[in-house]
A and B are shown apart, each in its own frame.
Chain A
Amino acid sequence: MDFSLTEERRMLADSLRGTLKRGADWAQLSDLGVQGALFTEAEGGFGGSGFDIAVVFEELGRAGSTEPVLEAGLAGGLLADCGEAALVEAVIDGSLRPVFAHDEPGNRYDTDLRCTATDGRLSGAKTVVIGAEGAGLLVVSARSSGGLSLFAVDPGAEGVSLRSVPSLSGGYASEITFDKAPARLIGPEGGAQPLIDQRIAAATLALCADALGAMETVREMTLDYLRTRKQFGRPIGSFQALQHRMADVVIEIEQARSAVINLAGHLHAAPAVRDRHVSATKNVVGRTASLVAEESIQLHGGIAMTEDYALAPFARRLIAVDHRFGDEDWHMERFIALGASA
Chain B
Amino acid sequence: MDLSFSAEDIAFRDDVRAFLRDELPAELAAKVRHHKLLDKADYERWHAMLQARSWLAGTWPKAFGGAEWNAVQRHIFEEECAMANAPRIIPFGLNMLAPVLMAFGSKEQQDYYLPRILDGSDWWCQGYSEPEAGSDLASLRTTAVREGDHYIVNGQKTWTTLGQFANKIFCLVRTDASVKPQAGISFLLIDMDTPGIDIRPIVLIDGTPEVNEIFFTDVKVPAENLVGAENQGWTMAKYLLTHERTNIAGVGFAAAGLAELKRIAATERSGGRPLAENPHFAARMARVEMDLMAMATTNMRVVAAAAAGAAPGVESSMLKVKGTLIRQAINDLTRRAVGPWAMAFPSEAVEGSNLPHPGPDYAASAAPVYLNYRKISIYGGSNEIQRGIIAKTMLGL
Contact = CB atoms under 8 A, between A and B. Distances in A.
Interface of A: 1-6, 9, 51, 223, 226-227, 235, 237-238, 240, 243-244, 246-248, 250-251, 254-259, 261-262, 264-265, 277, 279-281, 283-284, 332, 335-336, 339-340
Nearest to A1: B304
A243 B395 contact: yes
Given A254-B318, A255-B298, A227 B290 contact: no
A226 B307 CA distance: 34
B178 interface: no
Contact of A244 (B286, B296, B303, B384): B384
B264 to A, nearest CB: 16
A327 B229 CA distance: 59
Contact of A227 (B4, B300, B390, B396): B396
Contact of B397 (A237, A261, A265): A237
Nearest to B297: A258
A205 B129 CA distance: 47
A250 B300 contact: no
Contact of A259 (B2, B294, B387): B294
Contact of A255 (B322, B386, B392): B322
Interface in B41-72: 72
B293 A259 contact: yes
B394 A262 contact: no
A247 B388 CA distance: 8
B282 interface: yes
B290 A335 contact: yes
Contacts, number: 124
Nearest to A246: B391
Contacts of A335: 286, 289-290
B243 interface: no
Contact of B391 (A247, A256, A280): A247
Contacts of B283: 332, 336
20 contacts: A9-B1, A226-B397, A227-B397, A237-B397, A243-B391, A243-B392, A248-B321, A250-B390, A251-B321, A254-B318, A255-B294, A257-B298, A258-B295, A258-B296, A259-B290, A262-B297, A335-B289, A336-B282, A336-B286, A339-B289
A297 B1 CA distance: 34
Contacts of B322: 251, 254-255
A223 B395 contact: yes
B14 to A, nearest CB: 16
B287 A261 contact: no
Contacts of A265: 1, 3
A184 B155 CA distance: 87
Interface string B132-158: 000000000000000000000000000
Nearest to B386: A247
Interface in B229-288: 276-277, 279, 282-283, 286-287
Contacts of A3: 1, 300-301, 304-305
A244 B397 contact: no
Contact of A4 (B1, B318, B387): B1
Contact of B287 (A6, A227, A251, A332): A332
Contacts of B394: 223, 246-247, 250
A264 B305 CA distance: 19
A237 B394 CA distance: 10
A281 B294 CA distance: 8
B1 A247 contact: no
B276 to A, nearest CB: 8
Given A250-B390, A332-B286, A336-B286, A1 B396 contact: no
Contacts of B386: 247
Contacts of A336: 279, 282-283, 286
A335 B292 CA distance: 14
Nearest to B388: A243
